[in-house]
Structure formats: C-alpha cells, structure tokens
Amino acid sequence: MVANGNRDGRQGEALVLKGVDPETCMIVFKNHWAQVVKILEKHDPLRSNTSSNMASAVQNYVEHILFLLMEEDAGQAGAMGPILEFVVMENVMERLFLWSLRRQFTDDMKLEQLKMYEMIVGQARQPLLHHKPVLRPLMMLLSSCSGTAGPEVEAELVSLLNQLCCVLAKDQSVLELFFHTSEDQGAANFLIFSLLIPFIHREGLVGQQARDALLLIMSLSAENQRVAQHIAENTYFCPVLATGLSGLYSSLPTKLEVPGEEWHCLHREDWLQMPTLVQFLNSLEFCNAVIQVAHPNIRDQLVSYIYNGFLVPVLAPALHKPTLEEVMTTTAYLDLFVRSVSEPVLLQTFLSFILLHRHENVHILDTLVSRINTPFQLGTVSLALFQTLIGLYCEDVMLQLILRYLIPCNHMMLSQRRVVKERDFYSVSAAKILALTPSCCSPEHSPPPLRQLDSILWSKGTDNKTEETFLEEDGSGYSCVIGSEIYLDVNYLHYLYNARLGISSCTRACQVWSAPYDGEDPPPEEYQPSALEEAGARGRQAQKVNPKRSHPHPRPRPPCPPQTTDPAPTNQLELEWDDSYDAGPVVSPEAATAESSKPPQLPAAEPPKHIQEMRRTAIMLVKGSYIEESDFQDDVMVYDLVAKKDARDTVDRRRPSRETLPESEESEIDSEFNLEEDHFKESSLQEKDEVPLSNGLSLPLHPTNMEVNSSEVTKGSKEVKAHVADHNSNLQSPLAEVGDDLMGQYEELIRTLGSDEAGTGGSSPVKTVDKEFRNPVVTPMEEDEVDFSSFSMDTPELEKQHSSLFGTKLCSGSTRSHSVPFTGPFVSVLLSRLENMLDNSLHVNLLLTGILAQLAAYPQPLLQSFLLNTNMVFQPSVRSLYQVLASLKNQIEQQASTKKDFPKLITSAQHCLLARESSLKGQDTNSGDSRECSPLEAGRMMKSSPPPQPKTISLARTEVFATVLFTEFLKELAAIAQEHSILSHVPMEE
C-alpha cells in the first residue's frame, strides 16, 4: 500500500537525512521514480492483473519519494526545490493517482491516497498546492471520494479537507487555484467546500472537524467577495444548514419526560442527557458561528433559510400541536434555543418569528402569552420563556409585550402624564409597598431565631470616642445618631444590592434603545391607537409598493392584512374557557356553576352545556381534585373539537349565505377590500418568487445529493401539512383570521369612503370608528365588523375580560377597541396569575415574581411609573400591580386570622425556603450556565441566615409559601423602587 508507512519510521529517517546534500537526495529521488515508472508502464492495471508484489514495490518507492519531497526545502527566493520541480515537470502525483485509479479503486485505495496527501500537505516545507500538477490529482481524488464511501474514508476525507482549509486560511493565494482547478475539471467550483457540506450536521469528531473547516472558509468569505458569492449562489450550504435544523428538530422527543412539577426550563444538565438535543444545539451553535463570521451575503441567506425553512414550517406548527405536553415541550425547546443563540442577527430572526410571525393568522406571541394562563407545566414553561425574553433587554420585545400599550398614556389619568418622569425622592412608593407586609410577617412579629439573626443592631456607641466629641461639638440637636436600638432587616440590604445590579445592567443595556419611553418620547399624541393604525397601514402599503424592501427576509414584516376578514366569534368561547382558570381558584365550583347558569347577557357569550361541564372540570382540576394529566388532555382535546364545531355553527348561523357562496362571488362582493387583499396576495407571491435564490435553488430545498436526513425533513413537512389540513377541515383558519389589522383595514376603508371625517378626527379617532360601526353602510365586510365590535366593545364584563383573557387572539394588538384603556395582554395575564398567588405553587410564584421584578428593573419611566409608582392615578379599568398586591395582602390577612397555626406554618415555610436557597446556591456554583438559572432565585430569600431547621411543611400549603414569598417580593419591589429613585436619574456617564 502506498503511503501506509508509519511516521515514527520517517522521523527516524529524518534524522538520517539531515546533512545529506540536496544533490544526493535528488539522485535518489530520480532513481526511485524511474523504478516506479518502470512498473507503472509494464503493469497497466487495465490490461493485466497487477500482482500484489508489484503494488507493494510501488508503495515502497512512493514512500521514499514522498518523504524526499516533504523534506526538501524551498529554493532561493521561494523558488521550487529541485525535487518539487521534478515532481511538477514529470506530473508525478497525477500519474500515481491515475495508476491507483486504474487498479480497483477501493476504499482502501482512497484511504491510502488521502493519507498520502494529508501527509505531504501537512508536512511539506515548501508550498505544494500552488502547483497544478500537485493540486489537480488532489482535486480528482477528492471528487472521487465525494460519492458514497465508508466511515473510515469519510473520516480521512474530512480530516484532509480540514487541513486544506487551514492552509487556505493561512494562505489565501491558494484560493484562486482551488477555483481554477475545479473549473478545469468542469466539476463544481470550490470542491473542498462542497465536499464538507454533507458533514455539517454529523455528530462526533467528523462533524466537528467539518464544521471547524467550514467556519474557516466562512471567515475567509467575509474578506473574499468571490468566495462569499460562490457559497451564496452556487452551493447548498445555507439551505442544508437550515433544513438540517429542521431534520434534527424532527428527531427530538416530542414529549419531554418532566422530572418534577418544579421543572420549567431545559437546563444544561437536562439537555446534556439528550443526544438528539445536543446534536441540534451543536448545529444551532454552528449556525450562530457562521452568522458571526461569514460574509453578509451568506449571513443573510442563512438567516432567511432558517426563518423560512425551520422556524415557520417546523417550529410554528410544533408550537400548535394538539396536546398540552407537546406544546409544552416545543415551548421549552424554543426557550432553550433563544437562550443558546448569541449572535444578534440570529437572535433577531428568532425574535421576529416570535413577535411578528402569524401562524394560522394568530401571532405566535399572542399564543404564547395566552398560554401563561394555562395550568400545569405549559403555563410554567411559558413563563420561563418570557423570563428569557425579558432578560434580553430587547426593545422590540418590550415594545410588543408592554410598551406599545403604555405609549399612548391612556392607562393613566390625563393629569398624571407629567408624573411619569417624576422621581420618588422620599421612597414613598417603597414605603407604601412595604406597608403591605402582612402582619404575620412583619419584622417584629417574626419569632426568633429566624429574624433576630436577619436583623442587625443599628445603635449608638458602636464607634470610638471621636464620635462622642463630634456629638458634643454638635449639641444643637442635629445629631444624626439615633439613641435607641432598632432592628433593621439586613435581608433588605441584599435586595437593595441586587436591585442596584439589576437596574444598572438593564440601564446600560437599554442605552442602545431608540427612545427613552418617558411619556414624551415617543410622543403619546402621535401614537394614539388610530395614529398607530394609520402608520401601520401606511407601512403595509409601502411594503406593497416595494416588496423588495424586505427581501429576502419576509420576517421583519409589519403585520400583513389577513386573507379574509371574517371575525371569529369563537373567541368568545375561548374567553369563557380561560376565564374559568382565571377565576377558578377564587370561585368555588358551585359558584362557577351558578354564575354560568345566570341568564346570558349576550347570546353568543353563553357557552353551551358541555362547555360549562368542562369548565367545571377545569376548576376541579385547578383545585387539585384530578391528578392525572391524561384526563385533562382528553378534556382539552374534546374541548378543542367542540369549540371548533361550535365556532363553525356560530358562523353558519351568522352568515348562512356567505358561507355557501363560491369563492369568486365572494370576492366580487368584497371588491373594496379584496383590492387590497389582492395586493397582498400579489406581494406575497412576489416574495415567494424571490425566495428562490439566483442560483435557481428552490426554497423547499431538495438537496438531492447532499447528505441531509431528507426523510426526516419530509416527515416534518408532512406533519405540517397534516396540521394545516386538520385546521382547514375544522374551518379554523378563516375563523382565526381576525388578525389585528382589522382596525387598520377598517380605517383604511373609512379613509376611502370619507377621508375628511377620519382625517380630522385626530383627537377622537375612536369615536369616528365607533360611528362608522353603527352606521350601517352595508357591505358584507362591515357587517362582520359590527359583529366584532358587538362583543369586543360593548360587553358589560369588559374589565373582567381584560384581566382574564385567553382571548388574546382577540384582544391583542390593535384589534382591541381602544376606547378602553388596556395595558396589554401580557401585563394582564401576569397580574391575573399574581392575583392567584395564594393558590399558585411555589415555583410558579417564583417565576411570576421574578418576571415582575425583572420588568420593574427596566429604567423606562413608562414602565417604572406603571409598575412601581404607587401614587400614579390610573384609569378605573386599568389594574395596577399595587392593586393586586393590596388585594393579596387582604387575602393573606384573612387567611391568617382564620387559621390559628398560621404563624407557625410561616416559620416552617421560611426555614424550608432557606434550605432551598442554600441548595440552589450550591447548584449555581456548579453549573456555570448563568443564563439558565432565573436571576431571581439566586438572589432571593433570606441570605446570611442561620442553618435551616429541619421542620417540614408540605409544599401543598401554597398559601403559606405564597405569604412568605409575597413578603419577600414586597421587599424586592421596594428595593427596586428605591434604587430607581437614585439610579435612573443619574446621568449615564456617572
């Protein structure tokens, strides 16, 4: 075999060779070569069988020849050494390659040749690849290996390719040659790159080597336009990478084994145990790295493929799977992915998917927000996802979640706008928050040993005599030293410290934001709901006119007009359903039944019997009467089906004629609207057309000869189709397509009908709309609008809806009637869950309070004043954090007064939480994954505390734990409020 000799032997020889003069070497080389040539000429493998003797003879000679070549130094001024010159002149390498090609070109043969090149490329003292007679046979060899080969050959091939990439990275002049050589051959350009692609998603060393090598080329592409262009236009690199994610994703478990109720996100130690997830994350990390180093062309293309080839077709449907468990699992994956991605461009891709993408015409974000309110793990995992999102300090996220609802300042009394920016000089808000401390938890009530050690003596006379003199000197009553001893909550100092850290880092991060959100910038007047809508509409039109603007990334697209305008009366049902969770723990099942049997105020609002039945079931579930999750799931599915059926019935009832109309007729009737719709279709078509790249690859990506797990990809897409089909059959999609652009379209319509009326209505835009709603200008579309408005605006239990909503689909965004101040579904859902704090499990409360504290640490005055300013006067319909806290305090006081052993239980719970914290702290130091642990838990609860006593209390006593947590949360919030009063007002440079 040719180059099989071991290296040790060579090194031995190297020593021998030292001092041997070049002429001698040359003579030996020529001599050996002559022998080889003799054999090659005599024994053409095609004509006669080459005996193994001959082969091994050749091998011996070649070994020596190559060794001499490797050991030769470059000539003067970079000229070729004589041996290399001979190799080039005589075309030695190509002849050797052709000879082995003519023999049976087995894997062993390939292996030999690969190793031979790996050796000379890696060890030669002069550049060899610059010479075509060396490069050409190498390229031929490489392309001959591109087909199917055994694992050994693959490993060797990748190893050699990696080596070649290293050479390229060091010496770019070789690059041109690589291209040219490929051209000569008529094969694909830049062979080494193409050969690496199939190994992108490989696990183990081979995959890692391939990815490393590709990364080298990626960073090369950043500087070399030609490489970048080639990769973007002539290779399958980006599609393979992105669809590979889809393939790998499809092999992830669809249902996670959840270790315990407390579990809410995938920690490092969790995913390390899941090889498929590790593999996925490897590939994701690789994408991240590519985006980081590659040329913008490649980066953009990859990001676009990830969006269109993974997020939209795979992840979006996965987030809408039928069972709770599957959806929970997907949510946990999404959370992990967002946490794993570091490159802003890739993060942006994920975020715009979450914030702007619509699945079945519902924003992913709305769906995710609404799930916070679901029981069991889904709610918790959703909370954890939002904790991650809020922790990104991303303006776009905060804008969509909360700020856009606060900008118009409609949530507060008009007179309060000037208060937004005011600073709380005297910690008034903090005092008010802390005054909510339940009496059973107030500092002086805490029994020793717990509190005593937590407190500290602030007294006179701890210092030396200088202080005495000082006091004497200043005997005028301005003494600042207190005479009596008081106890202070040292624990609170830690909260202050954490608050300081939290606010500082958040403030620093938010420096990149576009506006301060202080009630003046963005100006509330300009962003009154109607103005927003118009802006949105303008944006959409602009996009229609010039769809190229968003090419090739349909991602950051402002909301698109929905394809149909049918409102979704079904949502009312969902509202009802979710309402039951919301009110569940507070309202007893009996009460709930009673309530639901009340005479209906709106026919549509009254859920059918079976729904009521299920609602009761849900209440019982929440109350803990049922334990088996599977029972619940069935209910959910049944509910889902029933809801869909009902929805269809409702629609049928409402628009009997329309439902039966053939499509063409319908579009005629809706000409006004469809004009715009057609525009949209057109533009979306254009976008579709644009997605294929200039190299003619089509988006669905069938990299036929690439090694992607194509079956898995197909599986994924089948699932998608099935899902879509399922929904279509249930008439889900037309119903869900309310979309938040309804208002936008409506106003557009108004503009076209009577532009003067709408145009002047800057101050009372809602009224204008309102009027239009009631004015029966009869077009089918408006008929729908009336339906819509009838339950979104005039529902008597408006406030209740706001607070409870599962119907975020309905309420979110601009769809909501803006006559009612609303701080957004996210805040609403959070506060709803907080309201039920006493019934929530400990970890839910930890997450909830953690998220709220995270939000409170944001320096934007709009957010700060909404969450922390206890003096702010809000509109009556707006629920504030302080209100919720106050009502919690009352609930707690009630509990405490009715339960005799409450103080004792509190003490046990405090001990239990202390123990929990110390164990958590231990974990923290072990796992270095700082992003994964909620920042809250680490800093929460009493520090510098005594070793916990082993008193036990069942975690099922949620009200007890919640009380302790509530008290701590108050301190946390107060500390944040206090730090804001000094930090947020210091100019940044300090």
Partner 1 sequence: TYLNDFWEKGRSDGEEQSGEQQQQRASPARPSFGKKQLPSIPKNAVPITKPASPAATAQLANGTHASYGPFYLEYSLLAEFTLVIKQKLPGIYVQPSYKSALMWFGVIFIRHGLYQDGVFKFTVYIPDNYPDGECPRVVFDIPVFHPLVDPVSGELDVRRAFTKWRRNHNHIWQVLMYARTVFYKINTMEPLNPEAAVLYDKDVQLFKSKVVDSVKLCNSHLFDQPKMDDPYAISFSSWNPAIHDEAKERMFSHKRRPEDHQKGLPVSGLSWVKPGSTQPFSKDDNPPLS
CB of 271 to partner 1, least distance (A): 24
In the complex with partner 1, the residue whose CB is nearer, 515 or 661, is: 515
Best CA proximity match to 618, nearest among 606, 604, 603, 634? 634
| Closest separation in Å from C-beta 558 to partner 1 | 6
CB of 695 to partner 1, least distance (A): 19
Task: Name beta bridge partners: 874.
Answer: 412
- What minimum distance in Å lies between the beta carbon of 493 and partner 1? 7
Our CB check for partner 1 shows the closer of 221 and 650 to be 221
Question: Which residue, 406 or 622, is less far from partner 1 as judged by CB?
Answer: 406
Query: How many whole angstroms separate alpha carbon 806 and alpha carbon 302?
Result: 35
Considering only the stretches 339-347, 634-642, 667-675, 934-942, report the one whose residues sit in contact with partner 1 under the rule CB under 8 A. Answer: 339-347
**Per-residue contact flags (x/-) with partner 1 for residues 508 to 547, judged by CB under 8 A:** xxxxxxxx------x----x----x--xx--x--------
Q: In the set 705, 871, 894, 897, which binds partner 1 (CB under 8 A)?
A: 871
C-alpha–C-alpha distance, residues 49 and 38, integer Å: 16
Site for partner 1 in 237-296 (CB under 8 A): 296
Q: How many CB atoms lie within 10 A of CB 282?
A: 18
**DSSP character for 400?**
I
Q: Which run of H or E residues covers position 114?
A: helix 107-123
Listed residue (812, 816, 829, 809) closest to 361, CA to CA:
809
Stretch that binds partner 1, among 15-23, 397-405, 569-577, 894-902 (CB under 8 A): 397-405
The only residue of 490, 720, 920, 938 in contact with partner 1, by rule CB under 8 A? 490
The torsion defined by the Cα of 442, 448, 454 and 460, in degrees rounded to 10, comes to 90
- CB contact at 8 A, 460 and 481: yes
Task: List CB contacts of 967: < 8 A, sequence separation 6 or more.
Answer: 437, 438, 441
730 C-beta neighbours (distance < 10 Å), count: 16
- Given the complex with partner 1, which of 134 and 496 has the nearer CB atom? 496
Closer to partner 1 by Cβ: residue 76 or 462: 462
> Residue 567 CA to chain centroid, in angstroms?
30
State which of residues 249, 280, 305, 492 lies at the interface with partner 1 (CB under 8 A).
Answer: 492
Stretch that binds partner 1, among 9-17, 601-609, 746-754, 869-877 (CB under 8 A): 869-877
In the bound complex, what is the minimum distance in angstroms from residue 414's beta carbon to partner 1?
A: 14
Site string for partner 1, 414-453 (x = CB under 8 A): ---------x-xxxxxxxx-xxxx-x--xxxx--------
Task: Dig out the tokens for 830 from the structure.
Answer: 């959070």
Distance CA(302)–CA(848), nearest Å, equals 36
Q: Which of 4, 505, 660, 775 binds partner 1 (CB under 8 A)?
A: 505
Q: Is the peptide bond before 522 cis (omega within 30 degrees of 0)?
A: yes
359 strand-pairing partners: 362
CB of 292 to partner 1, least distance (A): 11
**Least distance (Å) between residue 846 CB and partner 1:** 23
Strand duo 362-363 + 358-359: pairing: antiparallel
Which residue among 883, 903, 921, 955 contacts partner 1 (CB under 8 A)?
883
Burial (CB count within 10 angstroms: exposed 0-12, middle 13-18, buried 19+), residue 200: buried
Which residues ranging from 356 to 375 are in contact with partner 1 (CB under 8 A)? 356
Considering only 373, 382, 400, 808, the residue that binds partner 1 (CB under 8 A) is 400
Sign of the Cα torsion 637, 640, 641, 642 reads positive
x/- track of binding to partner 1 for residues 340-359 (CB under 8 A): ----xx-xxx--x--xx---
Single out the segment in contact with partner 1 by CB under 8 A; choices: 317-325, 479-487, 693-701, 786-794: 479-487
Contact letters (x/-) for partner 1, 160-179, by CB under 8 A? --------------------
Stretch in the footprint of partner 1 (CB under 8 A) among 59-67, 273-281, 487-495, 690-698: 487-495
44 binds partner 1 (CB under 8 A): no
Interface stretch with partner 1, choices 208-216, 476-484, 685-693, 715-723 (CB under 8 A)? 476-484
**Is 870 an interacting residue with respect to partner 1 (CB under 8 A)?**
yes
For partner 1, which stretch binds (CB under 8 A), given 299-307, 604-612, 624-632, 897-905?
A: 299-307
Instruction: Map the footprint of partner 1 across residues 552-611, applying CB under 8 A.
Output: 553, 555-556, 558
- Interface residue with partner 1, options 71, 366, 396, 740 (CB under 8 A): 396
On the 0-12 / 13-18 / 19+ scale of CB atoms within 10 A, 186 is exposed
| Residue whose CB is less far from partner 1, 481 or 793 | 481
Largest pairwise CA distance in the chain = 119
Nearest to 387 by CA among 836, 941, 934, 833: 934
Give the separation between CA 707 and CA 687, rounded to whole angstroms.
Answer: 28
Residues 921-980 that bind partner 1 (CB under 8 A): 974, 978
DSSP H helices, 204-256, are 204-223, 225-234, 237-250
Nearest approach, Cβ of residue 400 and partner 1 (Å): 5
One residue of 466, 664, 704, 930 binding partner 1 per CB under 8 A: 466
- CB of 394 closer than 8 Å to CB of 857: no
Binding-site member from 73, 223, 463, 689 for partner 1 (CB under 8 A): 463
Q: Closer to partner 1 at the Cβ: 414 or 482?
A: 482
Sequence-distant (6+) residues with CB within 8 A of 241 are: 200, 283, 286, 287, 290, 302, 305, 306
Binding range to partner 1, per CB under 8 A, among 63-71, 202-210, 572-580, 884-892: 884-892
Are the CB atoms for 802 and 820 separated by under 8 Å? yes
Nearer CB in complex with partner 1: 234/301: 301
| Alpha helices by DSSP H, 224-323 | 225-234, 237-250, 268-271, 275-293, 296-306, 316-318
Is the distance from CB of 615 to CB of 607 less than 8 angstroms? yes
**Would you call 126 helix, strand, or coil by DSSP?**
coil
Q: How far is the CB of 784 from partner 1 (least distance, A)?
A: 26
Amino acid at 572: Q
Residue whose structure tokens are 């009372």 = 764
Site residue total, partner 1 (CB under 8 A): 110
For the CB of residue 984, give the shortest distance to partner 1 in the complex, in Å: 10
H or E segment to which residue 29 belongs? helix 22-42
Cα distance between residue 821 and residue 416, in whole Å: 14
Residue from the set 500, 723, 816, 818 that interacts with partner 1 by CB under 8 A: 500
Q: Where are the alpha helices (DSSP H) in 412-483?
A: 428-434, 450-454, 465-473
Of 478 and 656, the one with the shorter C-beta distance to partner 1 is 478
- Near partner 1 in 889-918, by CB under 8 A: 889-890
Residue 646's CB is within 10 A of a number of other CB atoms, namely: 18
Q: Does residue 188 bind partner 1 (CB under 8 A)?
A: no
- Residue number with CB closer to partner 1 (103 or 500): 500
Among 333, 350, 577, 882, binds partner 1 (CB under 8 A): 882
617 or 870, CB closer to partner 1? 870
Is residue 31 near partner 1 by the rule CB under 8 A? no
Query: Whole-number minimum distance, CB 390 to partner 1, in Å?
Result: 12
Q: Which stretch binds partner 1 (CB under 8 A): 18-26, 132-140, 887-895, 918-926?
A: 887-895
Dihedral of the CA atoms 87, 88, 90, 96 (nearest 10)? 60
Pairwise CA distance, residues 229 & 555, whole Å:
23
Residue 309 CB, nearest approach to partner 1 (Å): 15
